[in-house]
């Protein structure tokens, strides 16, 4: 059932080209520059009248929400707030009938997300579920459901659910952008064309596994890890840290690069590996991230840099490099997440941990 893989998590990491292709299939109308979602029932008037999107999620799904914010804001020009579901409902949130509430959840059963989603709906928001399990509680609550089609995810650590959520959010951002008139047909076609390349891009990035494994071997004994990323790489840094904590039980923190000097820099010494996610893109502030690398090196920290295939500069500054294919700003998070998943997987496996069933964790958190 694991198809030759040692763990479900490893199988699910390698399934991502297929999972993403299944999430895209039948939804991209390339010649029209539009997106088709089964059961979409929001009128153009309603979409144009939207004033805000509120994303509700927990854990890894919350990280995908942060990426989704960038996608929806840039393509549909709608303000997006990303809320931890467990906080949202306890603070008398402002919800209007012109708001779209999006619950993001692999299982569709996470108690906090479900409760927040119900709360937003009760206060008049339109409720959209981005979910991997058809018939789950969230899909039953939703006015509209977009399925991620990742297939069953068995490993407790979320992998293919996350990347399929990212492409699902991208499709949604294109759809909203077209309906609101903020995205031209031509621009939409370019985004959709980029999306068609994602399965192949993931196949390519999976080839970094041997270099990730070497890094895992070198740092499997570390007590702490720091993950840094700017712009669209910030949620990838958060996700890298969460994955590592969950299955390797190594303390890890994810930070936006610019925040380092406001505190975490105090932690850096020669024992501290720092994963710096530094593909070369305008939104990542490449020069600034190079500054981060120098700051870490100056304090003896060990830099593991995730960089573009053709990068020649960072390659000379870092202690270890992991190369990934170049991607657009909105798709780079999909690509850059793969080495994060592989790193946590191999560290956990080398430490002899139960990768698919990490201690203290459940696949679906149905208590609040």
Q: Which is nearer to ligand F6R, 72 or 247 (CB)?
A: 247
Q: In angstroms, what is the minimal distance from the CB of 69 to ligand F6R?
A: 17
Which residues within the stretch 139-168 sit at the binding site for ligand F6R (CB under 6 A)?
157-158
Q: How far apart are the first and last CA of the chain?
A: 32
> Binding-site residue total for ligand F6R (CB under 6 A)?
15
CB of 112 to ligand F6R, least distance (A): 8
* In 28-157, alpha helices (H): 44-49, 59-76, 85-88, 111-122, 137-141
Least separation in angstroms between residue 177's CB and ligand F6R is 25
- Cα 55-80-173 angle, rounded to 5 deg: 85
The yes or no reply on residue 212 touching ligand F6R (CB under 6 A) is no
Shortest CB 106 distance to ligand F6R, Å? 4
Q: Which of 74, 328, 357, 364 binds ligand F6R (CB under 6 A)?
A: 364
- Asked if 101 touches ligand F6R (CB under 6 A), the answer is no
Tokens of 164: 């399929």
Q: Report the SS3 class of residue 203.
A: helix
| Residues in region 243-272 near ligand F6R by CB under 6 A | 246
**Separation in Å, CA 89 to CA 54, 59, 152, 325:** 12, 16, 29, 40
344 lies in the site for ligand F6R, by CB under 6 A: no
From residue 58 to residue 87, the character string flagging contacts with ligand F6R as x (rule: CB under 6 A) and all else as - is xxxx--------------------------
Query: What is the smallest separation between the CB atom of 238 and ligand F6R, expressed in angstroms?
Result: 11
115 lies in the site for ligand F6R, by CB under 6 A: no
Q: Nearest-5° angle of CA 79, CA 84, CA 85? A: 105
Asked if 271 and 218 touch (Cβ cutoff 8 Å), the reply is no
Give, as ranges, the residues between 278 and 337 that touch ligand F6R (CB under 6 A): none
Nearer to ligand F6R, 60 or 281 (CB): 60
Q: Which residue is nearest to ligand F6R (CB)?
A: 59
Q: What's the rounded Cα separation, in Å, for the pair 160 and 16?
A: 5
CA 350, CA 212: separation in Å to the nearest integer?
A: 12
- Say if CB 365 and CB 110 are below 8 A apart: yes
Please say whether the beta carbons of 50 and 78 come within 8 A.
yes
Helices (H), the chain: 8-14, 16-24, 44-49, 59-76, 85-88, 111-122, 137-141, 160-180, 185-196, 198-205, 209-219, 234-248, 286-298, 314-317, 332-350
Whose Cβ is closer to ligand F6R: residue 78's or residue 157's? 157
The H-or-E segment that residue 279 falls in is none
Binding to ligand F6R by residue 107, rule CB under 6 A? yes
Binding mask 39-58 for ligand F6R (x = CB under 6 A): -------------------x
Compute the least distance from the CB of residue 12 to ligand F6R, in Å. Answer: 11
Q: Which of 54, 86, 113, 145 binds ligand F6R (CB under 6 A)?
A: 113
Site string for ligand F6R, 219-248 (x = CB under 6 A): -----------------------x---x--
Q: Which residues pair with 302 in a beta bridge?
A: 273
Binding site for ligand F6R (CB under 6 A): 58-61, 105-107, 110, 113, 157-158, 242, 246, 364-365
């Amino acid at each position: 059932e694991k198809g030759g893989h040692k763990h479900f998590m490893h199988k699910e990491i390698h399934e991502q080209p297929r999972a993403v292709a299944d999430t895209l299939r039948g939804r991209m109308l390339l010649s029209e520059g539009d997106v088709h979602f089964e059961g979409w029932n929001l009128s153009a008037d309603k979409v144009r009248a939207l004033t805000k999107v509120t994303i509700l999620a927990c854990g890894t799904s919350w990280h995908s929400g942060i990426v989704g914010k960038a996608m929806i804001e840039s393509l549909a020009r709608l303000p997006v707030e990303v809320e931890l579901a467990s906080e949202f409902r306890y603070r008398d949130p402002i919800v209007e009938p012109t708001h779209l509430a999006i619950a993001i959840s692999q299982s569709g059963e996470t108690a906090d997300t479900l409760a927040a989603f119900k709360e937003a709906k009760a206060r008049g928001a339109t409720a959209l579920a981005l979910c991997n399990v058809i018939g789950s509680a969230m899909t039953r609550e939703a006015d509209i459901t977009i399925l991620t089609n990742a297939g069953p995810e068995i490993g407790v650590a979320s992998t293919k659910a996350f990347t399929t959520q990212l492409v699902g959010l991208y499709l949604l951002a294109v759809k909203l952008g077209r309906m609101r008139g903020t995205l031209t047909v031509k621009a939409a076609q370019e985004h959709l064309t980029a999306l068609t390349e994602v399965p192949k891009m993931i196949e390519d990035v999976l080839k970094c596994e041997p270099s990730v494994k070497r890094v895992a071997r070198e740092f499997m004994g570390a007590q702490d890890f720091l993950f840094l990323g700017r712009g669209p790489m910030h949620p990838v840094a958060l996700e890298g840290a969460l994955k590592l904590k969950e299955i390797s039980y190594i303390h890890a923190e994810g930070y936006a690069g610019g925040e380092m000097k406001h505190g975490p820099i105090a932690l850096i010494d020669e024992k501290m590996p720092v994963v710096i996610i530094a593909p070369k893109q305008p939104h990542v502030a490449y020069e600034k991230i190079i500054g981060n690398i120098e700051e870490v090196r100056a304090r003896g920290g060990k830099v593991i840099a995730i960089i573009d295939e053709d990068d020649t500069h960072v390659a000379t500054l870092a202690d270890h490099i992991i190369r990934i294919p170049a991607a657009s700003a909105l798709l780079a998070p999909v690509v850059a997440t793969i080495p994060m998943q592989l790193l946590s997987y191999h560290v956990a496996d080398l430490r002899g941990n139960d990768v698919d069933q990490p201690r203290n964790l459940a696949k679906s958190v149905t208590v609040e």
